Structure 1
């Protein structure tokens, strides 16, 4: 059986029918859609979308006999058609016929212009949704152009299942490649326009969302919905105003029921391209690109990262973390041990999350969803690394499993250094210098307009070479509360000096604040750090005399602070 075609003779006859049906109005444009769904037969059926130059609103559905078969006319005025192109005014009912392959009958140039305009809008909506869904890593996403086509189809199918029949026909083996190429032409043209407008960047076969577009989405006050109830919108207009339009939907539904007559057959039908559209979106890691749909376990990671050492001994040891599961992955090979840190980003909920929420109630908000925290860890790690700050190298990411694999940083935690200072009977110059260096590195981060969010001393490592490393970035935030970073590090560290004198706590604080200010840290941040709203958070475990000593140092920054090491 051969597919139905629109030969020159047939096209001319349909053009004549269009003009006859349009009278007394002129036909602005017309197209024949869904030809790829039909086979050549004695009683052919053609579907035509016809746009009229009418001063009044028109939306109707007509069926006319034709060559022993029939022609179905979907007739609309130009203004209504253009509103559907621009904003899905009819739920995309009209635009949907330009998403899949069609044959222009009248005014090919105008139809192409409107197809590109409609597909540009669909792409823009997808870009907006990606910014909202992946706010922290949207600028790092590498998107294949075909993602936008598959996402548009998946969205239509999820809102109106009968359209799945049409998409199944698009993906039939014999015509799949031709159909996809024809569909992508409009998307490619729209992407070029968006690139010229500065919304995206095209490079090496991928699309990247530009910061300009990301910022514009974030500035919008109105909420953007990831999925629009397009068919509901259409039904609201059509059932109230144009009852005959229901015939169009009934045709879709009839084909759907006929194709899936057996309910069990629905379970057998799969369209992999539409089931997981995120497989066309990637992020970069040292092991290569990782799709957002990738689901890799720790065992799979070892096989991928060390394919030549399948017999190597692998040990997994939990490092701790009340809210996150953090593991040390040890791979023994070539007589050496290599350590990799694996972070599992679980959702915080219930009683596990309650103590943290209670502790910082009214002072600090926390990102609690595992997906959001993984994004922040990845995005902030890349941002700090690109700007010369020391952070662990992210080796691989498993978005579906919410895993990040990163290098193990050897060294001493700042918490151990401060414990040594408070437990010693006198200030040790080398230790107090490390505290000062940490202050300088935090200032460097703050100058990048980033707040670390979780600035406890155990999240900061001083390496054997003196480099300062920041380990935990899942709560870090651009434009975040930098004063909280200082308050958390200073007042939290104060509980290590429970039995120490206030004078000793002042000297440690002076070292940190001097380092912070000398490296360009904000004086205002230091002043704000002594605010009662921060101090109250730490009053449960840091003694009052230590809190007062630290606060007094932060309040004297208008005069030069001397560490007074003796």
Structure 2
């Protein structure tokens, strides 16, 4: 029995419910609010959700006295309630009563089923938001089940701030464990249903979105109703402000909260809720990192170096016009460690404008720092999982837009290209390296990845002769693979002086394409790289005779 819900009180409430129902059939009823969540006192109102069959009024509030306290009863038509459960039709104002702790009074089985149903929809919608908002990161994220509960609370609180008091009261330190457990029971059942349908996986306490669900979400038609639902929810919840009876319980929750938090400003309330991003995790060699992580460069070194060791940090800028890239040096176990740190800034203003003009109609680049950070991390994890040579991601700070990666010792591919161009001989060794680059790009393409920025300067030939791709911030699954081929070839050609013949550029193109086709690259991809759509982009800085020569080789070797 929940505190302050005695059997006698339940009998009185049941009698009141029957009186309100009249000739309407009672479908279900439950208690919710402070008496269920544990922050009530003996004088607190009693809150009841009453579901009625064929209730023409639709939605009505009743306040009835009982033994010195008020019984606040929210009477709802069954069909309206179920539409709110299935579609959020009333902004989940009614369905929300079974997403928080409640105690059934009538027809517990019905209420539990609807609880799981609404929580299943919440999970689906939040997974949908993750997939659409973070199209690459969604493949790698590990999600703690609590995320769905806290994110749902956060969204409702931002949409309708007065409800924040209720959430803060039920998550009070002495009540949190019990109430979280009560709420999570329904979420876990909903998760298990989605697992059985192969929409998500659930192991070791973490949810992961399956490729099947990702494909379903991406392939569905644009759902304007998602936007309309937001308007509908907002409109309905604003209506509550003019309905005193509906607002009364929330005002009481506000008074309860303010008794122990008199100095708290109303604007700060939402920030007192649990941060949902703490429950979205990114795997790294140093452990799981939450999206809420705010690790700085110095914090990273402190986590990496044994405690008690004096930090000797050296930071050197490595370049980067649109990003800040640093080489971080520090000592660990008496050995020097080298780590590349990238700070992903948003590409705004005039820095970005020339680049967008350059590729207009051919290639679209990701502009947001957050998007590029997520791509760098997610594609890196994916390729590394398939044995592809990329720098290991050591840590990621989503909030600070920082990523920490292994420093790859080796020679930049630009130097190899320049040696071929300046060599008076055949440059056999260098040609073999170009062929290997072609192979590696083909391997990535076979995995469904397009690099998006395949310039030679983003490729390192390591001391062990492995070919590393070190800049993946524009990489995507199912991206424009033709761009990768075109960019490497035509950009390599721009190192040829205008007065030089195109022989060296032709050699580079032939060796690259041979390697690309040997590793399973498509001839059609090579052929399309010869089209004006791509040659026009690089004709700005690559000599025309070089562009023409490379284009002709692409046509010939691509089967054109």
SS of the residue corresponding to residue 453 of structure 1 reads coil
Contact kept in structure 2, 1:201 and 1:208, CA below 8 Å:
yes
Write out aligned runs for 1:489-528 (5 A). 489-498=488-497, 499-528=499-528
Write out aligned runs for 1:306-325 (5 A). 306-308=305-307, 310-325=309-324
Match of 2:483 in 1: 484
Match of 1:462 in 2: 461
1:559 shift after superposition: 7.1
Distance 1:235 1:320, change over 3 A: closer
Contact kept in structure 1, 2:506 and 2:550, CA below 8 Å:
yes
Contact kept in structure 2, 1:326 and 1:342, CA below 8 Å:
yes
Match of 1:451 in 2: 450
Write out aligned runs for 1:200-349 (5 A). 200-220=200-220, 221-223=222-224, 224=226, 228=230, 231-235=233-237, 246-253=244-251, 255-256=253-254, 260=258, 264-266=263-265, 274-308=273-307, 310-333=309-332, 336-349=335-348
Match of 1:162 in 2: 162
Match of 2:424 in 1: 425
Contact kept in structure 1, 2:330 and 2:338, CA below 8 Å:
yes
How many pairs are equivalent?
554
SS of the residue corresponding to residue 162 of structure 1 reads helix
Contact kept in structure 1, 2:89 and 2:229, CA below 8 Å:
no
Distance 1:38 1:402, change over 3 A: closer
1:183 shift after superposition: 1.6
Match of 2:408 in 1: 409
Q: Deviations over 1:428-478 (max 9, x none)?
A: 111111111111111111111211110100111122222111111111122
- 2: CA distance between counterparts of 1:181 and 1:133? 29
Write out aligned runs for 1:12-51 (5 A). 12-34=11-33, 35=35, 36=37, 39-41=40-42, 45-51=45-51
Q: Deviations over 1:107-149 (max 9, x none)?
A: 1111111111111112222111122222211121111111111
Contact kept in structure 2, 1:317 and 1:327, CA below 8 Å:
yes
The CA RMSD measured in Å over matched residues stands at 2.6
Q: Residue 176 in 1 paired to residue 172 in 2?
A: no
- 1: CA distance between counterparts of 2:147 and 2:134? 16
SS of the residue corresponding to residue 228 of structure 1 reads helix
- 2: CA distance between counterparts of 1:44 and 1:429? 86
- 2: CA distance between counterparts of 1:344 and 1:274? 29
Contact kept in structure 2, 1:452 and 1:473, CA below 8 Å:
yes
SS of the residue corresponding to residue 557 of structure 2 reads coil
- 1: CA distance between counterparts of 2:50 and 2:5? 16
1:56 shift after superposition: 3.6
- 1: CA distance between counterparts of 2:496 and 2:135? 40
Distance 1:312 1:85, change over 3 A: closer
- 2: CA distance between counterparts of 1:323 and 1:77? 57
Query: Please, which moves more after superposition, 456-465 or 172-181?
Result: 172-181
1:288 shift after superposition: 0.6
Distance 1:40 1:235, change over 3 A: closer
Match of 1:372 in 2: 371
TM-score (norm 2): 0.93
Contact kept in structure 2, 1:165 and 1:255, CA below 8 Å:
yes
Contact kept in structure 2, 1:309 and 1:333, CA below 8 Å:
no
Contact kept in structure 1, 2:331 and 2:337, CA below 8 Å:
yes
- 2: CA distance between counterparts of 1:55 and 1:92? 19
Distance 1:433 1:343, change over 3 A: same
Contact kept in structure 2, 1:4 and 1:38, CA below 8 Å:
no
Contact kept in structure 2, 1:460 and 1:470, CA below 8 Å:
yes
1:298 shift after superposition: 0.5
Q: Deviations over 1:219-249 (max 9, x none)?
A: 222254599356534257879xxx8x55212
Match of 1:75 in 2: 75
- 1: CA distance between counterparts of 2:424 and 2:399? 51
Distance 1:488 1:18, change over 3 A: same
Match of 1:563 in 2: none
1:325 shift after superposition: 0.9
- 1: CA distance between counterparts of 2:304 and 2:129? 33
TM-score (norm 1): 0.92
Q: Residue 386 in 1 paired to residue 385 in 2?
A: yes
Distance 1:44 1:543, change over 3 A: closer
Contact kept in structure 2, 1:346 and 1:402, CA below 8 Å:
yes
Gaps of at least 5 residues in structure 1 are 561-566
- 2: CA distance between counterparts of 1:345 and 1:19? 62
Contact kept in structure 1, 2:24 and 2:55, CA below 8 Å:
no
Contact kept in structure 1, 2:451 and 2:472, CA below 8 Å:
yes
Distance 1:408 1:44, change over 3 A: closer
